[in-house]
Structure 1
């Protein structure tokens, strides 16, 4: 045989890259599996196993948004100050909080345009020329301006008695926001720099700080709700697998109704009890502050995140409604079989009575 024919008949071992989804440590990992063409044609069962792994792809989790790290005082740039935002509870008792601030005598509480849903506190003892300020919002969020890490921890501890339905420490820290701000050149309007730093006026900037704080507090609260929804999705993830595999669903009608109620409660606070879908009334007659508020909301993608959350909630509602319908059908089938069995028992007794009366 010529060398040409030997080369032609030689088995081909060119590698074929196949995308494989491997589940390891509860995490979906994607890798490329190299399979020779000879193995590809001689062992089709292994290829079918690969396809089965591909078909078991799980839903992708929500990626965590990158947040700015907290800068130590020694590393801070001169003229650049920090802003810390936390959401620690569902609601604050602001009336009791004001009394607590007055009792501590470290911060002077003020009102923002007779707004009863926010408390503006200014530190009485200054550390440098830049004041230290805090905005407490009734919906359970606080925004701290020019605060050190130690002082912010003390304030979070101080808030504990005035919280209603407090969040866990991991929830609070994971969804916190950290930003920087500096003073704008006099004569220019406040806004955001290309680097994401807040620019405020050098004097009489309390309303500008309130506007920034309002938008940041809304973003932090939305982050808490996003985490709550992700936790809810994890709690019902097994339902999709059970429906797919045809196995028995380990949930009762009462639990399904409770899950339904959790979804509608979350949808209520997002769409009815918050300002996620509309601009607050405070900015209607303050056009410059409204523009600033909208720009900060755009920076945090609040509208897009709200829309995505509502789409996820709609999907969860459809799944729970399907589950409720399935459980109701099973309950009705069980009742029908009980009725059939009772009828059969009654027919059996009638047959026994008939035999005893006429044939014996």
Structure 2
């Protein structure tokens, strides 16, 4: 048996509910207009609502409060306020206990994890701006702008130009600049204004320059200081022995700079490889879905040329795979160089880049074989058509 609900009870409940809704609405408007609300407690008390009801704020006829229009408008107002509250909570980070979605991860330079620059610390920053520099003309241009060449540097390091300047950022150390022929430059304790001047001079001697935004993004910044003990790389900071003479300090700076220059060059090549992968990422999906690959033979050969040029730069024309000959008879400098390369993850990055290059090579070989087979098939059909035409001519000659 179903239970029967009294109609009077339902009407009474509905009227009671509407009475509470109307009281809340009137109370909120009254509290807005009346400055004598209960501001001490920060909210409107239940006693205030009851006073409003007794004073006649909610004393309207019952048939006016029970109209469908009032019921509909009241429910819509409640739903709108609830939706607005939910949206505000979601904008502020979601409900408690829920993890919010983060943006896409991007590649960040290693400077994001470096310690803050203290008073006694100086800054070393490396850039890669071009494929190569023309060092003889660059040296004359820098000397003309007031820089001094350090000629006491060993001759077996012929791929670097070492310059000194008086425009140091801090007085604890002299300003030194290492310009590598491979297109990278490293500044030691150089003020920002002088760095911009040198970068403008380098633009006139660059061979195949890189984009300016890429140069300033793919750089390396490491702090260094001078103190007691042996020179080393400790917790992301270069520490130099204060008792060493100037020539030995320059050699140690060269060892650190050599590793930093390799890191920034590798970062540029990593970006080039990422752009190459992005340009061919649609080919596997097209092959998977059975679509026609819209690449000509010339475009495929161009992609192969870009790929092998990049492999040549990374594996043959750079010192990423082997230790330079300069460190064979300088074990102390070789330790500094190897320690910095290890800190910058150069060996691991080179391994990852070569694996990506291998996969790209396999894909380009597949495309080249596909085009070769397609060309061979076209030639076979042309031969078949020519033979068919010749047979038809012979039959026509025999019949007629």
Please report the TM-score for the alignment, with normalisation by the length of structure 1: 0.77
1:143 is aligned to 2:167? no
Q: Alpha-carbon deviations, 1:272-320, whole Å to 9, x = none?
A: 1111111111111111111111000000000000011111101000000
| 1:69 shift after superposition | 5.6
1:100 is aligned to 2:141? yes
> Which stretch shifts more, 115-124 or 136-145?
115-124
Rounded to whole Å, the distance in 1 between the matches of 2:219 and 2:122 is: 17
After superposition, residues 236-275 of structure 1 pair within 5 angstroms as 236-275=280-319
Contact 1:297 1:303 in 2 (8 A): yes
Task: Please say which structure displays the higher CA radius of gyration.
Answer: 2
Contact 1:106 1:125 in 2 (8 A): no
The residue that corresponds to 2:165 in the other structure is 123
Please report the TM-score for the alignment, with normalisation by the length of structure 2: 0.69
The residue that corresponds to 2:321 in the other structure is 277
1:79 is aligned to 2:120? yes
Rounded to whole Å, the distance in 2 between the matches of 1:253 and 1:247 is: 17
The residue that corresponds to 1:197 in the other structure is 237
1:341 is aligned to 2:385? yes
Rounded to whole Å, the distance in 1 between the matches of 2:361 and 2:166 is: 50
The residue that corresponds to 1:163 in the other structure is 206
1:227 is aligned to 2:267? no
| 1:107 shift after superposition | 3.7
Rounded to whole Å, the distance in 1 between the matches of 2:287 and 2:153 is: 53
1:329 is aligned to 2:340? no
Rounded to whole Å, the distance in 2 between the matches of 1:176 and 1:70 is: 14
Residue 121 to residue 70, structure 1, CA distance change in 2 (3 Å): farther
Residue 208 to residue 269, structure 1, CA distance change in 2 (3 Å): same
| 1:241 shift after superposition | 1.5
Rounded to whole Å, the distance in 1 between the matches of 2:299 and 2:208 is: 22
Runs of 4+ in 1 over 6 A off after TM superposition: none
The residue that corresponds to 2:43 in the other structure is none
Which structure shows the bigger proportion of residues in helix conformation? 2
Q: Gapped runs of 5+ residues in structure 2?
A: 1-103
For the residue of structure 2 that corresponds to 1:227, the secondary structure is helix
| 1:130 shift after superposition | 2.1
Rounded to whole Å, the distance in 1 between the matches of 2:152 and 2:317 is: 22
Measured on the aligned residues, the alpha-carbon RMSD in Å equals: 2.1
